[in-house]
Amino acid sequence: MGPVAEGAGSLAAARKYLEGSWILESFEIFPPGKPAMKLVGSGTLSYDKYSNLRMELRPDKASANILRDAGVKVPDDDRFSTDGRTAVDLENHKITYVLDGKAPGSGPLALSRPRYWQVENDMLTLTTKDDSGNPVSVGRWRKAPAQ
């Protein structure tokens, strides 16, 4: 194994960009056969230098019901929280959870599904796709100011 590539366009640069805290700007789901639905609520995402990703979504009651109708298992407190180590695929712009012994869950937002990422300035867009490659959800996250 050789040295890790650094600089613009490298995996190290992508990880460095992702590092930090992010605040949810918007979240949409795309249930099969139904129009897109924008969820109302809040959320935080944090990514550290060890590739650990923690995401928390807190939809309001109506949005939690929309998720249930779309086949998403919603926790009793209507709060989604997930964290774990991730693998970043720079070439395909994918972030995949490393599920060492963890149950991947099921449904359209299961942890076993990769998140496709796109960045523009301080905005991170994470898209989850179904088995046919169609978007299931799109979350837009704004970089929180460094503290």
The rounded average pLDDT for each run of 10 residues, N- to C-terminus, in the chain (147 residues) is 56 83 93 86 93 90 85 84 86 84 68 87 92 91 88
| pLDDT on residue 71 | 74
| pLDDT on residue 7 | 59
| pLDDT on residue 5 | 56
Determine how many CB atoms are found less than 10 A away from the CB of residue 66: 20
| pLDDT on residue 104 | 63
- Nearest alpha-carbon partner for 65 in 89, 39, 88, 30: 39
Q: How far apart are CA 128 and CA 136, in angstroms?
A: 5
Determine how many CB atoms are found less than 10 A away from the CB of residue 88: 17
- Nearest alpha-carbon partner for 118 in 140, 136, 98: 140
CB contact at 8 A, 124 and 18:
yes
| pLDDT on residue 70 | 74
| pLDDT on residue 109 | 73
List the structure tokens of 68.
């249930």
CB contact at 8 A, 116 and 89:
no
| Domain 11-143 fold | Lipocalin (2.40.128)
For residue 99, the one-letter residue type is: L
Look at the block and give the residue holding tokens 């989850």: 128
- pTM comes to 0.83
